[in-house]
Amino acid sequence: MSTQRFIGANSREAMNQVRLALGEDALILSSRMTDAGVEILALAEELPAPATSDFAALSERLLSEIQAMRQLIDSRGKPSPLLKWLLDAGFSASLSQELLGHSPPPLPDATPARLKTWLMQRLDNQLNQLADEAELFNEPTVIALVGPTGVGKTTTTAKLAARYVMRHGPDQVALVSTDSFRIGAHEQLRIYAQLLGVELHALEPDAPLGPLLGGLADKRLVLIDTVGMSQRDARLVTQIHQLGGSGRAVRLMLVLNAASHGDTLDEVLHTYREAAHAAGCRLDDCIVSKCDEAARLGPVLDTLIRHDLRLNYLSTGQQVPEDLQLPGTSNFLQQALDTSRPSRFASAPGTSTSQRLNALVRGLMGQRKALLALRDSLIAHVDGFGPLLDAWPLMALPAAQQPAAWDAFIRAQEPCAPVAAVWVTATQSSQRVVYRGERQRLGNLAGHAEAFGIRELRYRNRTARLTLSHLPVVLKNAPARAWFGTLQDSHSGQHLGQRYWLSVESQGLKEQAANLLLQLKHDELASLTARGKTQLLAMSAHLHAELRLYLAAGLAASAMRLANASDDWAFQARTQLLGLLPKKTRGHTGEILEGLLHLSAVTGSL
């Protein structure tokens, strides 16, 4: 055990440092205010050293993040298209730069739709969201909706009650109104309560909440509609104290108006959270209201991400309960990035460095979610990638234990179905065959070949066009078919080379063409496997030979699968993998292989 000291500008910043360094289970020894800020002493447990490969990958990842942040902070150039996109959507310059710490490389298939999906994934990784409302409703709880005037707390209270009634019936729900200042507030909630068949209790101003909650102890859900208060109202702290001192745990849920200015939202959240902290409460949940009235959702999402507030619901209208949606069932991220009407108030990125540390911490934490999602996507779409990840931990075993562990791993795998052998081989223009009784070079026979159409394919990180033709020939006294292919870039028309194949005549022409096309797509497989073996050997000098070949060949095949796939999932996976590399990339298959090596090394640590 060892004691470590952390200092932050406030308690939250200091605790973020503790969690980042020591994890959620760190033992806090003391906390006090000093001239330098809030000082926290925490007890750290000595952890075993990570495997060399994991440590190297994580260190490289951290250095890459720091370098990326430094480049963004020092940048004085014109905003990139993606940065301008986020600014036009209403996101702040600081968070926009943070989200683009690893921009996707300039791939030729990076369409606006795919780039938008990439941005949505970056936002989704950073945003804390309620995935299942059972987390709120399955246990007895008291929820108090708080927030400024006019944000829709009363209607939202009714919507929450209606959602619960639809699940569990009305008997276990009670509504409490503390809003006696607004004319008709009690009456509005009373109408909702009558429609839902639930109890309603009105609390007079300054009346203690504890006795009322004590009488409602048999209710599984108590929803409190509080008085709307400006963040600058001196009575705010008193209101929060009333909720926190009721004797029963009250879950505060802040209602934020999506149509508010970003600076206003930031001030509201900060003030309400400070008031909750002063009352000994926590404020970690929110509902975003009036999404249907907001010109853009960027400012409110920006605020939630920077303050790490969990988004539970989005309110999109006045209908009860239809217009209350879980984040996972809403297309709010797509709406947030809609820039069909650019903001007149978007600002250029600033040069302030005061929040670099917080931005870096959020970026690193968000990478965990992104990497796990990337891992799951590859397992779902790339055959055999799951077993590769299962085999990876064997690298960390002592060299003497690896052969036995490898044998056990192989025995546990399901046997592969036999594949019929197909004889199609790539060859050179100098290959000699017999045509019309004469022995000739293939390169001299292309003019005699019969055209067989054009095939589109992805070839070495570009969209290519293969023009095919064929010719019956004789090879070693046996009938064969010579195939000729002219490869061009589909966009520029650039000539990428001439290709030659020989195939047996046991299959039809379409089957032969499909096989040679498959072979062309994977013509890098042998060199990629050799590259993977070299890199694996550098990571673990005593790696078992068969395990090394299995990992190298599997990762090379996975890289080829990603490079050749034109689907949206493959584009997203390629950009994420290339983003793991600390260098500028062009999307070559070898770089995708390196990204897969990085991902495999880090996944075990996650």
Structure confidence by residue, pLDDT tens digits, 80-100: 788 888 888 888 888 888 888
Give the CA distances from residue 75 to residues 70, 99, 346, 582, in Å, rounded to whole numbers and listed in that order: 8, 15, 18, 18
Alpha-carbon span 383 to 86, nearest angstrom: 36
For residues 527-553, one letter each, b for 16 or more C-beta atoms within 10 angstroms of the residue's C-beta and e for the rest, the string is ebbebbbebbeebbeebbeebbebbbb
Residue 105 has pLDDT above 90, yes or no: no
| pLDDT of the residue at 185 | 56
Give the pLDDT score at 452: 94
pLDDT, residue 353, reads 45
**pLDDT top residue among 51 and 163:** 163
C-alpha distance from residue 9 to each of 34, 519, 581 (Å): 10, 60, 33
User: Please, which pLDDT band fits residue 467 given cuts at 50, 70 and 90?
Assistant: very high
Lowest mean pLDDT among 94-103, 221-230, 462-471: 94-103
- Report pLDDT digits (tens) over 170-227: 888 999 888 765 555 567 788 888 888 888 888 876 778 888 888 888 888 899 888 8
Which pLDDT score is estimated for 422?
A: 57
| 26 pLDDT tier (thresholds 50, 70, 90) | low
438-452 pLDDT, tens digit each: 999 999 999 999 999
Mean pLDDT of the chain: 81
Lowest mean pLDDT among 236-240, 252-256, 281-285, 339-343: 339-343
The answer to whether 272 touches 147, Cβ cutoff 8 Å, is yes
pLDDT for residue 265 is more than 80: yes
> Looking at the whole model, is its pTM more than 0.75?
no
Confidence (pLDDT) at 551? 93
Quick check: 509 pLDDT over 80?
yes
How much of the chain, in percent, has pLDDT values that exceed 70? 81
Report the distance separating Cα 603 and Cα 606, nearest Å. Answer: 5
Distance, in Å, from the CA atom of 272 to the CA atom of 275, rounded to the nearest integer, reads: 5
Task: Give the model confidence (pLDDT) of 356-370 as tens digits.
Answer: 556 666 666 677 888
Q: Which residue has the tokens 């917080």?
A: 358
Q: Which residues contact 384 (CB under 8 A, 6 or more apart)?
A: 554, 557, 558
Please tell me the total number of residues recorded for the chain in this structure: 606
| Chain-centroid distance, C-alpha 339 | 22
Tokens, residue 327: 């984040």
Given this model, what pLDDT does residue 354 score?
Answer: 46
Q: pLDDT tens for residues 401-417? A: 999 999 998 888 877 65
Q: What is the mean pLDDT of residues 377-386?
A: 92
Burial per residue of 352-365, b for 16 or more beta-carbon CB atoms within 10 angstroms, e otherwise: eeeebbbbbbbbbe
User: What is the distance between the alpha carbons of residues 455 and 196, in angstroms, rounded to a whole number?
Assistant: 62
Residue 478 has pLDDT above 80, yes or no: yes
CA trace torsion 331, 255, 19, 137 (10° rounding): -80
Q: Return the pLDDT at 188.
A: 78
pLDDT tops 50 at residue 400: yes
Question: pLDDT confidence of 318, banded at 50, 70, 90?
Answer: confident
Angle formed by the axes of helices 356-381 and 11-22, nearest 10°: 40
On the question of pLDDT at 44 being above 70, the answer is no
- Is the pLDDT confidence value at 56 over 90? no
Per-residue pLDDT band at 232 (split at 50, 70, 90): confident
Per-residue pLDDT band at 50 (split at 50, 70, 90): very low
pLDDT in tens, 64-78: 554 544 444 444 445
Pick 56 or 545 by higher pLDDT: 545
Q: Residue 295: pLDDT band by 50, 70, 90 thresholds?
A: confident
Q: What is the pLDDT of residue 3?
A: 66
Please state the rounded mean pLDDT for residues 254-262. 90
Distance CA 257, CA 10 (A): 27
